[in-house]
């Protein structure tokens, strides 16, 4: 029997509504390498180890299998539905049919409602699962405030209908946030963005906190087994930097646990994926914190190491992947 970490001792973050949720959830993207069955088996183990938050997505192709696991855990009395915080996302090809997408996720996840529903990407540009990095969809277009807000309005209606409790946004930039936040009736509770020691996105992080939006860090370990399409020669392996190795050695743990402690102490929710190490990942935020000096040292590791560059979402006429991230401070069209 795997070790059980009492959910009551897992540190919490407070959402803008005042609700407290765990500072760590489990990612469920198999990265085109881990099968739906293996991922859902890990989710089953994770619930029994004390995880209560799960980061799902329609495009991960495993919600049906994960739903079986949620249903079984509830039937067996391991948890009640209200104890779980289930997050999922509308995929890019469903931006005009958000309710249909959400209803399908609810059915697949067998969860009655979604706690936090993210707009996975801020544009409808679609790529097929398992596609390679050079594939382009001729229908792709640059970000449009009107199109985004149409998708967002549909999410607001889902809140009003009780199908989702909170709205989330993901893969945003400050210029895009500036354009859309004033137009929203219901503010987003959280924003999912890539965050790991060598890619800290401090400016967007601070912007989110200042606007009372909870940052949720994806790829908190620098995703060592990410899909082939997301691997570039210039990428840095966060956990192999001498600083991370040295701090890990001082604590007698794997650098992954240092990255997760750092994320937690910084204030974000992190959602590491794991089929082998999920127990130690959850446990690490309940014990042996990093010192202020260690936090400061990790703070110096920023290397602009964006791993999800998003090439497959580029539109006709776009220069390169930098165009997706509005690096000059305006929305690139």
Ligand X SMILES: NC(=O)c1ccc[n+]([C@@H]2O[C@H](COP(=O)([O-])OP(=O)(O)OC[C@H]3O[C@@H](n4cnc5c(N)ncnc54)[C@H](OP(=O)(O)O)[C@@H]3O)[C@@H](O)[C@H]2O)c1
Residue 151 near residue 95 (C-beta atoms within 8 A): yes
Nearer CB in complex with ligand X: 58/106: 58
Question: What 3-state class would DSSP assign to 208?
Answer: helix
List the end-to-end C-alpha distance of the chain, in Å, as a whole number: 54
Residue 272 near residue 221 (C-beta atoms within 8 A): yes
Site residues (vs ligand X, CB under 6 A): 27-29, 31, 55, 120, 170-171, 192, 218-226, 254, 256-257, 271-277, 280-281, 308
Please spell the DSSP secondary structure of 93-137, one letter per residue: GGTT-HHHHHHHHHHHHT-SSEEEEEESSSS-----TT--TT---
Residue 151 near residue 99 (C-beta atoms within 8 A): no
Question: What 3-state class would DSSP assign to 224?
Answer: coil
Least Cβ distance, residue 89 to ligand X (angstroms) = 7
Strand intervals (E) in 185-292: 190-194, 214-218, 269-270
Least Cβ distance, residue 164 to ligand X (angstroms) = 16
Nearer CB in complex with ligand X: 160/237: 237
Pick the catalytic residue from 60, 126, 152, 166. Answer: 60
Is 95 part of any known ligand binding site? no
Nearer CB in complex with ligand X: 28/154: 28
Least Cβ distance, residue 19 to ligand X (angstroms) = 21
> Residue for token digits 């382009």?
136
60 noted as active-site residue: yes
Residue closest to ligand X when measured from CB atoms = 27
Nearer CB in complex with ligand X: 55/268: 55
Least Cβ distance, residue 55 to ligand X (angstroms) = 4
Residues of the binding site for substrate = 120
Residues of the binding site = 120
* Catalytic sites, residue numbers: 60
């Amino acid at each position: 029997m795997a070790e059980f970490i009492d959910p009551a001792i897992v540190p919490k973050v407070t959402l803008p509504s005042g609700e407290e949720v765990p500072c760590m959830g489990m990612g469920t993207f198999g990265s085109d390498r881990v099968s739906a069955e293996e991922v859902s088996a890990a989710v089953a183990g994770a619930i029994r180890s004390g995880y209560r938050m799960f980061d799902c997505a329609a495009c991960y192709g495993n919600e049906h299998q994960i739903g079986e696991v949620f249903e079984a855990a509830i039937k067996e009395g391991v948890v009640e539905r209200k104890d779980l915080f289930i997050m999922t996302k509308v995929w890019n090809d469903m931006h005009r049919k958000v309710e249909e997408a959400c209803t399908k996720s609810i059915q697949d996840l067998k969860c009655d409602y979604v706690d936090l529903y993210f707009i996975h990407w801020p544009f409808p540009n679609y790529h097929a699962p398992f596609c390679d990095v050079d594939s382009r969809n001729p229908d792709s277009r640059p970000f449009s405030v009107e199109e985004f807000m149409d998708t967002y309005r549909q999410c607001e209606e889902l809140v009003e209908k009780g199908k989702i409790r909170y709205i989330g946004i993901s893969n945003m930039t400050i210029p895009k946030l500036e354009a859309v936040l004033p137009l929203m009736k219901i503010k987003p509770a959280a924003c999912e963005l890539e965050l790991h020691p060598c890619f800290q996105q401090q400016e967007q992080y601070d912007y989110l906190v200042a606007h009372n939006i909870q940052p949720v860090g994806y790829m908190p370990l620098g995703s060592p087994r990410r899909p082939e399409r997301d691997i570039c020669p210039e990428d840095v392996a966060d956990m192999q930097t001498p600083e991370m190795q040295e701090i890990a050695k001082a604590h007698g743990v794997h650098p992954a646990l240092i990255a997760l402690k750092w994320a937690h102490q910084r204030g974000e929710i992190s959602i590491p994926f794991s089929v082998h190490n999920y127990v130690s990942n959850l446990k690490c935020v309940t014990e042996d914190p990093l010192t202020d000096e260690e936090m400061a040292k990790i703070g110096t590791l920023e290397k602009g190491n964006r791993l999800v560059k998003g090439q497959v979402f580029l539109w006709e006429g776009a220069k390169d992947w930098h165009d997706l991230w509005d690096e000059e401070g305006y929305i690139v069209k």
